[in-house]
Structure 1
């Protein structure tokens, strides 16, 4: 089966015409052409029957059958051209020959087949015209010079063959080009759709990462200081009447910690508010902005939150561990801080992560093992920094006191996420003597 480029284009939406036609309009056109061709061949069959000495009815029927072959030009263009070549000696089927050559050239067939059939039609038309003109000259119907017969034969052959073939080649090439452009447009549309889906996934991932980071930073900022405030408040309540001076000191510590917590919260919330109206390409993120721009805005907001909450240059540093441990000591905890190795500076995110691990571990001791002695060890190694916080079993008084501090259960998860994000190793769990140990090893770069 042979089809043209237009048939392929129409076939994309599925056949809706009868039999092999993809559209009713094509079927009607081919039927009309076949009817005209049958009438033409029937009329031309009359002189053919007389010249051949056969009944006129036979010539007419033969012409009708031969001309009706044009109805299958889209399905079998080769057969149509062969039939037109076969009836050329009878001087029949001129319309069928022209339309058949056009359809053949426009069809998606090898060029050698098109060239061979076109050559056959050209030669057949040339020979028939040449013989017919010589016969007319012999009978005296035509009286011209000898050069006219070959000239007229060549002109007739080229006129009946070249125009339809060239037009068919042009139309076929144009159809194939349009089909190629449609396929490219469809491919581009699919790629754009995939890119939009990926951009939406990246934007959703960025939003999820931002929410996780914000939750982790809020936990780090609030949990530790509020836990210390609760411990100091409990101590303040216990010594308010017995030791007013100590009560005043505890109250001052509670106030300082509350102000520090509020300051850090304001910094984080200020960054979040400024990120809400982040402009991308001169427009604020909102309805009508491309998904890729939303993902970019989310990433920008996430980076700002990270910078303001301890993962940028302004975050906590290891040199502040002494002050962090001092706050816990002031709250009544016994903490032993030891540093091994040559102290040096690290990347801001490395120092912030190590600091947050110690901070969260001390917060957990306040919550779950109040009063237990705690050991904080920091080891500076060649290519990494190791942090370990271990507490002894809590006392009975500490258990009762610590039970009043709520726990969200996300502290260890947040610490592990921080360490693993930097390519480190995080391990936590109870010790053999009933305490708890948190260990983290973070690459130095």
Structure 2
């Protein structure tokens, strides 16, 4: 989708037809400077008109000079309220300019203010009133030394040129202000959206870290609990077995601390952005996980029906590994002496299935559990496009079964062609 540039020609009419900006309650330093400049310009323009019209005798019916100067002075003073009532002030000064020459400067400033702060329709109406009053003054008080129609024609030309120049300048200033406001609004929206994306990314990263900490540390600490429990209930075991169990406890504790250090390291703010991520376990590491559980005293029957574990895609392979890891941890918690069955099956182009079963027993190891592990597994499966089923079966077993979509080479190639 093409993004329109700020200087696109079609943007100018839209800016001119946009509603006027909200009025400021207080004048800023810039507003005071502009108001003073406008007042000075109106006074100078009025003085110039007074000099031009003072040459020779005034036309018949022309107001006295004192009254003309008084009207012009009041018009210049009224410019201080031009921000509050620009349309009313511009029309009033335009009507007064039909009998006073010195108020013309204030009328021009008022017309410029309307062109800056109001829509084009209002500006056009005020400009027509200003043009009409200019023609009325030229027709009512022509120069006696010149031809009447020449004076009226020159007055009409001057009024049109001056009014058109003022309106064009005011519309340009208005369009520029509206453009700046729109760009500022876009920048604020973009900054807000960026902050929202950052917050969402942080939330997702924290959720991912929480899942990793639960999956990794729950497995390690459950191994520690099993071996420590064995030493507690068998104080008279042979020294060789005690030394072996103590070695396993030491190695598991060391590995748990290492895993915790690596996971917590992600939360450090001063971590370099180009630091490579720690390699995550995959389905190819399942034999190592099974052997580790067996060394902890578990009875695990592992059946791999896949020809090549390395052919499984990395994403679903990691989810499969975490599923088995969490299921074995739960089995150690709730069925410490039961036989656990792990079956890995599937094929490319279909789905990868992981099924872990263990008998329901009344014994418990005493290891606390919150039940959030299965919730995390269900979320992993959902994010991978699969599903997770868990619960007791009619055969008196507890089953955890996850199904993850496994695209084959042809499916991946077709998806790449579609994305291209």
Matched, 1:348 2:332: no
Counterpart CA distance in 2 for 1:10 and 1:387 is 63
1:374 corresponds in structure 2 to 340
C-alpha contact (below 8 Å) 1:239/1:246 kept by paired residues: no
Aligned pair partner of 1:416 in 365, 369, 378: 378
C-alpha contact (below 8 Å) 2:90/2:126 kept by paired residues: no
Counterpart CA distance in 1 for 2:390 and 2:373 is 11
Give CA-to-partner distance per residue, 1:56-103, whole Å, 9 cap, x none. Answer: xxx979x979x9799799538679768977x8xxxxx55567876886
Give CA-to-partner distance per residue, 1:269-328, whole Å, 9 cap, x none. Answer: 4x437x52146xxxxxxxxxxxxxxxxx6xx88xx6xx32xxxxx222223222222222
2:294 corresponds in structure 1 to 329
Matched, 1:388 2:355: yes
Matched, 1:220 2:215: yes
Q: Unpaired segments of 5 or more residues in structure 1? A: 17-22, 50-58, 88-92, 134-148, 280-296, 309-313
2:184 corresponds in structure 1 to 189
Q: Structure 1's 112 and 75: CA in aligned 2 closer, same or farther, altered over 3 A?
A: closer
Offset at 1:164?
A: 4.6
1:436 corresponds in structure 2 to 398
Which of the two has greater helix per residue?
Answer: 1
Counterpart CA distance in 2 for 1:128 and 1:234 is 114
Aligned pair partner of 2:24 in 13, 30, 53: 13
Q: CA RMSD in A?
A: 4.8
Offset at 1:365?
A: 0.6
1:276 corresponds in structure 2 to 269
Matched, 1:154 2:120: no
Counterpart CA distance in 1 for 2:392 and 2:182 is 58
Counterpart CA distance in 2 for 1:331 and 1:47 is 117
Counterpart CA distance in 1 for 2:141 and 2:261 is 100
C-alpha contact (below 8 Å) 1:121/1:161 kept by paired residues: yes
Counterpart CA distance in 2 for 1:189 and 1:113 is 30
Q: Unpaired segments of 5 or more residues in structure 2? A: 1-15, 28-33, 79-85, 116-121, 408-420
Give CA-to-partner distance per residue, 1:191-216, whole Å, 9 cap, x none. Answer: 22222222222222222222222222
* 1:136-155 matches, cutoff 5 A: 154=150
Q: Normalization by structure 1: what TM-score?
A: 0.63
How many residues of Structure 1 are paired with residues of Structure 2 in the alignment? Answer: 360
Counterpart CA distance in 2 for 1:389 and 1:243 is 34
Counterpart CA distance in 2 for 1:175 and 1:165 is 15
Query: For the pair shown, which has the larger CA radius of gyration, 1 or 2?
Result: 1
